[in-house]
Amino acid sequence: MSVQPAYRGRFAPSPTGPLHFGSLVAAVGSYADALAHQGSWLLRIEDVDEGRRVKGAADSILRTLETLGFQWQGEVLHQSRRKARYQEILDRLLARGLAYPCGCTRREVEAVGRRGAEGWIYPGTCRQGMPPGRRERAVRLRVPAATVRFVDRLFGAQCQELEREVGDFVIRRADGFFAYQLAVVVDDLDQGVTDVVRGADLLHSTPRQIHLQRLLGAPTPRYLHLPLVLDENGRKLSKRDLAHPLDPGRPLEALLAAWRFLGQPPPEEPMKDVKTFWAWAALNWNPQRIRREGAR
């Protein structure tokens, strides 16, 4: 009989700006879900893309989370300090023939590739080896002509034909940085994450991550993707446009706004402080109330 491991959740912000309402929703959803399962909750700074890192953003995010009463377990993991580990996994995938060096430029991919839901589908030019005279730029993961299926706790049954819809995807980029898709899988594996609760913009990435998990013999976590907070133009809020930063001077208001956005009825009694809020939230979190399209 197999024993279910204890719940381990995480929040994994990219330090591209101060915490805004959109990432607060992801933080509140994942923390409340962990508390409701009496699980642990980890924090990871996803600074693998060092070009997008904004100075001071990681510290500012941590400070805001502290003010809002979030409590994470252990040390904060920084992706920028884990390159040796990512390299080890990359080498293993290359040695097994599951990944391959690619010499194509973006322009070349766009000239012959098809357009997918998220970027270009790689036409497979370097799959059987780089054409002579080419210099290695990126490393890609070979994907099979198979369908990846999983059940999201909010969005239900999902399936994606990796080869047709995504194509062989980059795991080490031409600028030398490891790709998010590789880093997130290795980190979730190493941190023993059982439950991923994050924004629905990553729903489309999940089959790639599940495929990588299977290649590495890693367990697949449960997934709960949360509705996205959109701006006036229907676009996802981004930390980079500095839109809607949180007011850390009003922590309870911020928490309650995120709570309501997630379809959770507010407490009947006014809350004294953030600590009281979280104790109450742990008992009252009900993911079945979340609406896919989010709150108005």
Determine which residue in the list 90, 184, 193, 256 makes contact with ligand GLU, applying CB under 6 A: 184
Closer to ligand GLU at the Cβ: 25 or 184?
A: 184
Residue 142 binding ligand GLU, by CB under 6 A: no
Determine which residue in the list 9, 25, 31, 46 makes contact with ligand GLU, applying CB under 6 A: 46
Measured distance CA(221)–CA(4) in Å, rounded:
11
Determine which residue in the list 28, 202, 237, 274 makes contact with ligand GLU, applying CB under 6 A: 202
Residue 183 binding ligand GLU, by CB under 6 A: no
Q: Rounded to the nearest whole angstrom, what is the least distance from the CB of residue 184 to ligand GLU in the complex?
A: 5
8 Å CB contact between 199 and 237: no
Closer to ligand GLU at the Cβ: 125 or 238?
A: 238
Residue 12 binding ligand GLU, by CB under 6 A: yes
Closer to ligand GLU at the Cβ: 14 or 40?
A: 14
In 3D space, the residue among 34, 47, 124 whose CA is nearest the CA of residue 82 turns out to be 47
Q: Rounded to the nearest whole angstrom, what is the least distance from the CB of residue 206 to ligand GLU in the complex?
A: 9
Determine which residue in the list 137, 198, 211, 225 makes contact with ligand GLU, applying CB under 6 A: 198
Residue 15 binding ligand GLU, by CB under 6 A: no
Binding stretches for ligand GLU (CB under 6 A): 12-14, 46, 184, 198-199, 202
